[in-house]
């Protein structure tokens, strides 16, 4: 936001420093306080700090759902869909198991009605993972039957049959997870915006109470 600070390095090392100090600082302050609260202001400062540190952990969890590593490159819904379309297309590669392909397409229609992300937080973050696990379990069972039958008809060795089964299961798992990530993107983005609104006020409250605490200790 400040022009003269834009030459102070990229965001990655500053973000790493922010996380290190956000964990190390509270630990040192807990030791400094000897795990006791001496005044109301000290208590406000301490609990504000603990809330900020705890919310930082939650924020980091939400952050990784929207960003690649620490580079701050936010994934967009279009990019996620592009990654999926650029892949090999596991549904196409599972033509030997039409029931499995049909289950994947049905899960996609359920997760992404009309091609849009699931609107509800409960639907996106709770119901959808459960459905993905159910569909994945059904697909794995169907794949085993199909590949064992294919292996017998084609004369596959036991090792080749096992590798084919593992590869097919991996394709199904990747496809279902990609669909889930696309559907959940808007929900994670919404939660991250809510978290930011709650996190920042406690940062300022911690700062003001900490300054008041230091001034009071040295003045009185």
**Is the pLDDT at 127 greater than 80, yes or no?**
yes
So what's the pLDDT on residue 69?
44
* pLDDT the model gives residue 181: 83
Confidence of residue 66 (pLDDT cuts 50, 70, 90): confident
pLDDT of amino acid 133 = 95
The residue-averaged pLDDT of 58-69 equals: 72
pLDDT at residue 129, rounded to an integer: 92
Which tens digits make up the pLDDT trace of 173-203? 888 888 888 888 878 888 888 887 877 887 8
Q: Give the 3-state DSSP-derived string for the chain, with helices as H, strands as E and coil as C.
A: CCHHHCCCCCHHHHHHHHHHHHHHHHHHHHHHCCCCCCCHHHHHHHHHHHHHHHHHHHHHHHHHHHECCCCCCECCHHHHHHHHHHCCCHHHHCCCCHHHHHHHHHHHHHHCHHHCCCCCHHHHHHHHHHHHHHHHHHHHHHHHHHHHHHHHHHCCCHHHHHHHHHHHHHHHHHHHHHHHHHHHHHHHHHHHHHHHHHHHHHHHHHHHHHHHHHHHHHHC
Q: What's the confidence (pLDDT) of residue 85?
A: 60
The chain-wide mean pLDDT, for the chain, equals 80
Does residue 57 surpass a pLDDT of 50? yes
At residue 90 the predicted structure's pLDDT band, cuts being 50, 70 and 90, is low
Average pLDDT score over residue span 76-105: 69
Cβ contacts of 110 within 8 Å, gap of 6 or more: 131
User: Between 77 and 172, where is the model more confident?
Assistant: 172
Whether 31 has a pLDDT exceeding 90, the answer reads no
């Amino acid at each position: 936001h400040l022009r003269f600070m834009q030459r102070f390095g990229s965001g990655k090392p500053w973000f790493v420093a922010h996380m290190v100090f956000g964990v190390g600082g509270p630990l040192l302050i807990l030791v400094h306080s000897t795990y006791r609260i001496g005044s109301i202001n000290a208590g406000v400062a301490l609990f504000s700090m603990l809330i900020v540190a705890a919310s930082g952990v939650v924020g980091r969890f939400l952050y990784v759902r929207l960003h690649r590593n620490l580079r701050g490159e936010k994934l967009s819904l279009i990019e996620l869909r592009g990654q999926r379309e650029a892949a090999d297309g596991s549904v196409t590669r599972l033509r030997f198991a039409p029931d499995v392909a049909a289950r994947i397409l049905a899960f996609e229609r359920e997760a992404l009605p009309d091609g849009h992300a699931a609107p509800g937080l409960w639907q996106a973050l709770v119901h959808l993972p459960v459905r993905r696990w159910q569909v994945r379990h059904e697909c794995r069972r169907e794949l085993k039957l199909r590949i064992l039958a294919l292996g017998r008809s084609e004369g596959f060795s036991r090792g080749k049959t096992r590798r084919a089964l593992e590869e097919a299961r991996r394709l199904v798992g990747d496809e279902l997870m990609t669909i889930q990530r696309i559907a959940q993107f808007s929900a994670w983005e919404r939660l991250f915006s809510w978290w930011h609104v709650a996190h920042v006020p406690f940062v300022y409250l911690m700062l003001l109470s900490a300054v008041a605490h230091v001034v009071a200790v040295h003045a009185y």
